[in-house]
Amino acid sequence: MTIATDDAAPPAEADDPTPVLLTVEEAARCLRIGRTTCFALIRTGELESIDIGRLRRVPADAPAEYLARRRAAQRAA
């Protein structure tokens, strides 16, 4: 049995499983910290986040950027 496909297939980027935005819980798991601590970092501006309607999302590269800043600060100290 064959499945009919449209000639207008979605672009390859649609198949990319890499997330662009993370939930606060996902960002917390990436950093191995608790949800409350993650919200505290967001509140102080240490961890970048954006509002989408009533949702709070963290750019996927923000946890790595936060970690890089923390490591640089520790090296400088």
- First-last CA distance in the chain: 66
For residue 74, pLDDT beyond 70: yes
Residue 22's CB: how many other CB atoms inside 10 A? 20
- Which tens digit of pLDDT belongs to each residue from 16-65? 788 899 999 999 999 999 999 999 999 999 999 999 999 999 999 999 99
Question: Tokens 């997330």 map to which residue?
Answer: 19
Mean of pLDDT values over 67-76: 96
Q: How far apart are CA 46 and CA 40, in angstroms?
A: 9
Question: Is pLDDT larger for residue 17 or for residue 13?
Answer: 17
Residue 29 burial by Cβ neighbours in a 10 Å radius (0-12, 13-18, 19+): middle
Model-level pTM? 0.76
